[in-house]
Amino acid sequence: MARPDVATFLERFVLPFVVGGEAHVNRPLTSADLGRFELDLANATVALVAVDEARTDVLAELVARPPALVLDADELALAVGLHNALVLAHPDADGSLVTDAMRRKIASTALRMVSQPISRDRTRVLARHALLHNLLDLGRADVTVSWWTGRARFLGQKPSARLTAWKGVRRVREEVTRAGFDELLASPEVAPVMAALLRRTPLTQLLGVSPSAPPLHWEDAVFLLRDAEVARAVAYAAVRPDEPRAQVAAPARLAAAFEQMLERTPPAADVRAVAAFLAHVAALLAMAEAHLTSPSAKSPLLSAVLGGGPGAGRPRGLATFFALPVALERVAPVLSDPPGLAHEAPWQRRWLAFKAQAVDLLGQPLVDSLVARLARHLGPAPDRTPLAEAPASTPTPGPT
């Protein structure tokens, strides 16, 4: 059995994983392998540069000037940990030769590897996201081959030629289905590894929309909202044009995480930052309709996603998302309207009509409840003074 080397690992697993392609999963890698990889990293320049260039391309869509990236030891550990987690979804690791104890050992090793220090450094966060940005989109092509006397299923593997030979005579039929993140990496024994891995890359969590991904902890990600460029990229990713229900999926997930945050005891500044960000995202959705309708017309988006009433299959957090700007008017008025909106009269009219329609569809009790929860973190509601009279020193967290 050949010893795995870092260049092969980068070329066959890391690079396809970053740029999209066939990421090959081989036997599990030990801590000794990881140590050897770290030592050999300097000798695998070609593969290393290819990975770093691919990561730079990924970041080019998010920030104007991607930082210089060099794959280092902790990112390598994250990649090896992910590889080992994928081994547990390998069909050969589910056979009689691999016992539960062995699987637990592999999972434990993977967890150790991904348990790298949590970082809030911008470059490091961007670098980790560039490495793992496809994590939630990872899939596997499962082929089911059926022939005239039987059938066989190949999970991420190529069917043998003898099974697919003489297709006409043996009435061979191949069906290819794609297994997603939830089938590969959401099993109970891998879930802790994934949770730990995603905590190390909060930007991936903010930008990803997979429903089976671990829930977002805003406390881990709120620092990203204080970087205007990154926050803008997150906001634009959240309001990507799509069918209405798909368009609000990401904002609803972020708002659901905000609901959970309110149940804990986060710093007030973090609550203010997330609240301002979510209000900003809501305003973006409102402004996206400004060219479709007159400024005071009803929002087709709100009618589509909230029109069915409370029991009409709204995703979690959606009601909070649309009620938040209205509630903030009473708790922290300076956060409720994105800065600059009031300078454009048509935009302001559109925003007011959007909020009024949201209250109509959600109901005042829901807004009142959110006001009470926000007030616990942000203090009692201030006087209803106009925004223009607010003190000049009032901080305006969130994206600008």
Partner 1 sequence: MALEHVAHGQARFMTPGVAPDPRGVVLGRYLVIVFPTLEGVVSWLRLYSHEASLDELVAGLEITRVRTPLMSREMILRIPAVSSYAADRAARLARLVGGSIYTGTAKHFVKYRDDRSPYGYDAVEIGALPGGAELMVHGDDFTQTYAREGDISLSRLLFRLSLRRVPGAQRLAAEDRADLVLAVARGLGDGVIRYLWRNRCDGEVGLVAPRNNKAASDGSAGFGVDPSYLLMRVRSLPERILELFLGTPGIDVFRPVSENVAVAVGWAHPVELASVASLLPADTYHVFWPGDRVDLLAGPLELSRLADLTRIDLELEGVREPRTGEVSGPDPVAVALRLAPASGLARRVSATLVPLAQTAQFKRLVYLLPPAALRGLRVAVTDRGIVVVASHDLDVIPLGMLLTELAPGIMVPIGMEVVPRVSPEVLAGALGHGLGVLTVFTPDAAPFQLPESKLAPLERRSVARLESHTVEIRNVALDPSGDPTVVNDPLGRFALWGFPEPEQKLLGE
Residues that bind partner 1 (CB under 8 A): 1, 16-28, 30-33, 57, 60-61, 86-87, 89-93, 97, 102, 104-109, 111-112, 115, 134, 137-141, 155-157, 178, 184, 189, 192
Q: Closest separation between CB of residue 286 and partner 1, Å? A: 30
Instruction: Confirm if 184 and 89 have CB atoms less than 8 A apart.
Output: yes
Instruction: Confirm if 268 and 393 have CB atoms less than 8 A apart.
Output: no
Q: Closest separation between CB of residue 186 and partner 1, Å? A: 14
Contacts 24+ apart (CB under 8 A), 21-24: 23/86, 23/138
Distances in whole angstroms, Cα of residue 83 to Cα of each of 87, 98, 199, 295: 6, 17, 17, 51
Q: Closest separation between CB of residue 17 and partner 1, Å? A: 5
Decide whether 34 or 332 has the Cβ nearer to partner 1: 34
Cα–Cα distance, 304 to 300 (Å, whole number): 6
Which DSSP symbol is given to 239? T
Q: What is the SS3 assignment for 337?
A: coil
Q: Closest separation between CB of residue 68 and partner 1, Å? A: 18
Q: Closest separation between CB of residue 85 and partner 1, Å? A: 11
Decide whether 93 or 297 has the Cβ nearer to partner 1: 93
Q: Closest separation between CB of residue 109 and partner 1, Å? A: 5
Decide whether 180 or 339 has the Cβ nearer to partner 1: 180
Distances in whole angstroms, Cα of residue 267 to Cα of each of 100, 214, 218, 223, 271: 42, 22, 11, 12, 7
Instruction: Confirm if 249 and 289 have CB atoms less than 8 A apart.
Output: no
Q: Closest separation between CB of residue 291 and partner 1, Å? A: 26
Residues 6 or more apart whose CB falls under 8 angstroms from that of 93 comprise 28, 87, 103, 106
Decide whether 113 or 334 has the Cβ nearer to partner 1: 113
Decide whether 107 or 221 has the Cβ nearer to partner 1: 107
Q: Which of 302, 308, 303 is nearest to 285 (CA)?
A: 302
Cα–Cα distance, 89 to 83 (Å, whole number): 10
Residue type, 313: G
Instruction: Confirm if 255 and 278 have CB atoms less than 8 A apart.
Output: yes
Q: Which tokens sit at 240? A: 């990507």
Cα–Cα distance, 232 to 225 (Å, whole number): 8
Decide whether 155 or 269 has the Cβ nearer to partner 1: 155
Q: Closest separation between CB of residue 289 and partner 1, Å? A: 28
Decide whether 55 or 272 has the Cβ nearer to partner 1: 55
Instruction: Confirm if 174 and 205 have CB atoms less than 8 A apart.
Output: no
Decide whether 1 or 68 has the Cβ nearer to partner 1: 1
